[in-house]
Amino acid sequence: MQYVMLTGGAGYIGSHTALALLRAGYQVISFDNYSNSSTAALQRVEQLAGTDLIRISGDIRDEAALSAVFRQYQVSAVVHFAGLKAVGESVAMPLSYYDNNVAGTVTLCRVMREFNVKKLVFSSSATVYGDAKTVPIAETAPRSATNPYGQSKLMIEHILQDLVNAEPDWGITLLRYFNPVGADSSGQIGEDPNGIPNNLMPFISQVAVGKRDKLSIFGNDYPTPDGTGVRDYIHVVDLAAGHLKALQYLETNQGIEAINLGTGTGYSVLDMVKAFSRVNNVEVPYQIAPRRPGDIASCYAMPDKARKLLGWQAEKTLDDMVRDSWRWQSQNPDGYTNS
Ligand code: NAD
Ligand code: UDP
């Protein structure tokens, strides 16, 4: 039996991808140290799929633990979500970020090579485009980083490129996610941030559910239609589907490709707040606050390469995104903690 291993499989995007893979008939291993997640997400994935996955508690920096998995199971491909992802924290704790993200990826690749598993889908990010000069952003746009988190993604992209240059029989897809939001339509799994959310959608949801007083909108003087920042929000279920397409692509292709996963449409912060209120019939009090340092005005994808190469495009609408985010938040006001 062949398995797809998900590092970070219990996390927000990993759990939705695990569900999509199980539903498509794949055998799935989740390898996660639960530093930002819990097994509850995986239990719910199993309930929703009506089938089990293999849950392994381990750290990608632990070569012996990884080797044990590859020894026990025949792994055909790895989808590599595991890593730390909070920009502010990365500025305060750069060594943790380089250790978990960069050193962890190097260890993973070393073990994969040892067991001759050479198909890898990597969670990259639109953050590698830095402050892009033009939108929509194509994969060929220049890359840069302004914080250790972004730098770690950029470094990994370079490392994986060098690996393919040296060993062309690897097949690697760098999926550059734009802004993942939403949740499975069951409301059973979703994003469960620790502490005060950094990202817009979980913050809006927590205001709507009464856990926070009001949203601060970081700046209304950007050169955008309504002055607030514009991003390419993508439903996490669409994102998960993109990983299946990437795995299928790697069945017959070697080499390395960077591919944007975005919708190609930008929405402003105010667009998101208004859609959330309208669709869910809830109040989202907000105030205008100063710009957040490091933020850019506008960022959205040129999504054509994903369509041409993978046959993938986002299907979900803005209304789906805000409805599904709210269903998860309202059904699980404290995330997975009480399950
Ligand atoms: P998440 O924190 O929910 O999931 C990451 C998972 O990795 C968690 O379950 C965590 O416990 C696990 N993990 C962390 N370090 C580990 C280690 N050393 N060993 C084993 N497991 C470890 O985050 P997410 O939103 O699901 O993001 C998944 C990936 O996508 C990350 O690499 C992230 O950088 C990337 N990404 C996320 C976004 C986003 O906005 N959510 C955007 C672009 C890229
Ligand atoms: N944003 C905001 N208030 C918040 C969180 C985010 O106004 O509490 C804005 C932010 O300035 C940006 C957009 O929402 O314009 C998306 O921010 P997020 O942190 O979700 O994603 P990223 O900055 O990584 O694109």
> pLDDT digit string (tens) for 157-168?
999 999 999 999
The pTM assigned to this predicted structure is 0.98
As annotated, the active-site residues are: 149
100 Cβ inside 6 Å of ligand 1: yes
Report how far ligand 1's centroid is from the alpha carbon of 284 (Å): 28
Question: What is the distance between the alpha carbons of residues 301 and 66, in angstroms, rounded to a whole number?
Answer: 34
> pLDDT digit string (tens) for 229-269?
999 999 999 999 999 999 999 999 999 999 999 999 999 99
pLDDT > 70 in the chain, percent: 99
Sign of CA dihedral 106, 110, 113, 115: negative
pLDDT at 338: 53
Residue nearest atom 41 of ligand 1, based on CA coordinates: 180
> pLDDT digit string (tens) for 204-228?
999 999 999 999 999 999 999 999 9
Alpha helices in 147-299 (DSSP H): 148-166, 200-208, 236-252, 269-280
Strands 233-235 and 119-125, how do they pair?
Answer: unpaired
> pLDDT digit string (tens) for 116-130?
999 999 999 999 999
Region 70-76 average pLDDT = 98
Overall residue count recorded for the chain in this entry:
339
| Fold for the domain defined by 2-183+232-263+300-312 | Rossmann fold (3.40.50)
Question: For residue 39, what pLDDT band results from cuts at 50, 70 and 90?
Answer: very high
Residue nearest atom 15 of ligand 2, based on CA coordinates: 229
> pLDDT digit string (tens) for 279-325?
999 999 999 999 999 899 999 999 999 999 999 999 999 999 999 99
Task: Give the start-to-end residue ranges of the domains of the chain.
Answer: 2-183+232-263+300-312
